Structure 1
Amino acid sequence: MSTFTTADGVTLTYRDNGGSGTPLVMLHGWGQTQAMFRGQLDGLDRRVVTLDQRGHGVSEKPHHGYRIARLAQDLHEFLDHLGAAEVDLLGHSMGASVCWSYLDQRGSGRVRRFVAVDQPAAVAAVPWMSRTEQTQCGAIFDVAGLLGLGGELAGEKGDATREDFVRSMFSGEPRAELWEFVREEIRSTPAYAGVPLLFDHCAQDWRDVLPRVDVPTLVIGCDGSHVAPSSQEYIAEQIPDARLYVFPVAEADSHFPFLENPERFNAVLGEFLDATK
């Protein structure tokens, strides 16, 4: 593993498999780690770079910067550190939000292709959204539910709440080894980092950004995820010329298709990244 330090003095840890071609930079979701991409770091025949975002994994966990805009700035500085003139960019869950924030603020001049994996356009069903808009977005919480979850995560039973929350992202019974791996990885983010970041993440609404994504894009959903596949269809419709792949339950039945079925995920991803158009 290697490290780099952000402009605000936070040391982040990353892995680079040293492969060839355009680097594929992969960003994990809330409370997760770059280790979630173990099947891609070793299984894709290309250069793959993964990053523990601030407050996650073995990266530093300061008491500041837990908002999507700051994580997008971290990504910008990380790409500078890599010296990459062009990258392929993949975000899973909250990682997709970080990518949308990056594209919103910095544009796509450095991005060759973009992959969004199982992230709603807006997570919170705020009162000024119509029912139709809430469904299109794939909103998971109402505002009261989000506040309640944050309070429980910050409380004495926060560890159990976090495990229950992540376990709900699997519709079936995960393999014992897989679930133990996930349980271990999600323990690395302290509540003082995770709770404000979750609140900021869920408060974002990316619908106005989607039509302005101007690079080839693949949207990935999963029939067995807690994120409604219809919300991924909506995102693919909003991003010009985006492609869509929804994993059927026979291939994966959770929010983590890249972990459950890395071979099939890598095949879908590789086909998109290698496409000529």
Structure 2
Amino acid sequence: MAGSVVTTSDGVRLRVSDTGGGGIPLILLHGWGQTAALFDGQLTGLAGARRVIAYDMRGHGLSDKPDHGYRIARLAADLRDVLDALEIEQADLLGWSMGASVTWSYLELFGSARVRSLVIVDQPAAVIAWPWTTAERSAETGAILPIEGLSRLAASIATDESGDVVQSFVRSMFSEPVEDRLWRLVSEQIRHTPVHAAVPLLIDHATQDWTDVLGRIDVPVLVIGCEGSHVGVRSQRELAARIPGALVHVFGRDAASSHFPFLEATEAFNALVDAFLCGAASTASTRVEKRGDTRSQASRPVHV
């Protein structure tokens, strides 16, 4: 697997892992406080049939950690810069957690011309339950955190020199006991993101609401949820229902019980994504014709 560095338009160096190969590449986008290292199982397991690329976002992992640019829109621009630097005309995107928000921002800012398909993994359309948000709306969109809770969490992270607050926050994303090897991986990667990056990015990420973007997505989409995650399953089904023609798959607790289904159920996750991408490839040539038909379809489950 080749490693390289892409320099963004504002001079930030991003560390990239690239399996190489031809065809339409799959780009993996990690979540807040995490890194491309969490996708090792996908970089190896999905690379047999395609080129797979993952990179550490600014402020994360082995990429630069400047004092600027910690907004979802800037991360979307960084994705554009990666596509440009690697001379990728079209790609499949897989966004997990905050990485899903980056894909939505990319589509809003730059359109879908370079995106063949999209996989969304365990990310609600909205995170913050604002004072004026009804309980029904919160359940529907996945908004699980009151603004006061976000403020307290951000303040705790900003003043905690030990890093224990972030560790505890991420550990709460596992609803069942987690294997030691998996927790070591996750907890080690968290430590790469400094407070000056973590806090403003968490605030910007959490306060976005992407529901107005969903109905205008015009590429094939697979939404993946998990019963054991802190992200409500209903929000994932509702999210898929808002996207024209989207598919949805929910991992049961017997397969995974966290916000990290790609770590806990790697083989099943990879098989699911592979099946979806093969379907996206077969329908890519008729994408324009199918837009009109799929807008009226309800989201439906996909199984492997």
Counterpart in the other structure of 1:98? 102
Alignment match, 2:184:
180
What does the per-residue CA deviation read over 1:162-203, in whole Å, with 9 as the maximum and x for residues that have no partner? 011100110111101111111101110001100000000001
Gaps of 5+ in 1: none
- Return structure 1 stretches of 4+ with deviation > 3 angstroms: none
Pick aligned residue for 2:32 from 24, 30, 35: 30
Are 1:219 and 2:223 an aligned pair? yes
How many angstroms apart in 2 are the aligned matches of 1:87 and 1:19? 13
Taking structure 1 as reference, are residues 79 and 204 closer, same or farther at Cα in structure 2, changes over 3 Å only? same
How far residue 67 of structure 1 moved from its aligned partner, in angstroms, is 0.4
The count of aligned residue pairs is 277
Aligned counterpart in structure 2 of residue 248 of structure 1, from 245, 249, 252:
252
1:39 and 1:262 in contact (8 A); partners too:
yes
Q: Which residue of 1 aligns with 2:140?
A: 136
Instruction: Letter of the 1:32 partner, please give it.
Output: Q
In the superposition, the TM-score normalised over structure 2's length comes to 0.90
Q: CA RMSD in A?
A: 0.9
What's the counterpart of residue 265 of structure 1? 269
Q: Note the residue ranges of structure 2 that are not aligned, 5 or more in a row.
A: 284-304
Distance in 1 (alpha carbons) for counterparts of 2:144 and 2:197: 21
Q: Which moved more, 1:153-162 or 1:9-18?
A: 153-162
Helix, strand or coil at the partner of 1:204:
coil
CA displacement at 1:81 relative to structure 2 = 0.9
Separation in 2, partners of 1:260, 1:32: 16
Shift in Å, 1:157: 5.0
| Aligned mates of 2:161, 2:144 — CA distance in 1 | 22
Deviation at 1:21, TM superposition (A): 2.2
Deviation at 1:158, TM superposition (A): 5.5
Name the residue aligned to 1:40. Answer: 42
Aligned equivalent of 1:3, options 5, 20, 31: 5
Q: Distance in 2 between matches of 1:77 and 1:115?
A: 20
Partner Cα distance (2:136, 2:162) in 1: 33
Q: Percent same amino acid among aligned pairs?
A: 55
**Partner of 1:12 in structure 2?**
14
2:259 aligns to what SS in structure 1? coil
**1:120 paired to 2:124:** yes
Q: Structure 2 CA distance, aligned partners of 1:240 and 1:35?
A: 32
Aligned-partner Cα distance in 1 for 2:130–2:104: 20
How much has 1:85 moved relative to structure 2?
1.0
Residues 69-113 of structure 1, C-alpha deviations (whole Å, 9 max, x = no match): 000001111111111111000100000000000001111111001
Aligned partner letter, 2:29: L
Question: Taking structure 1 as the reference length, what is the TM-score of the superposition?
Answer: 0.98
Letter paired with 1:16: D
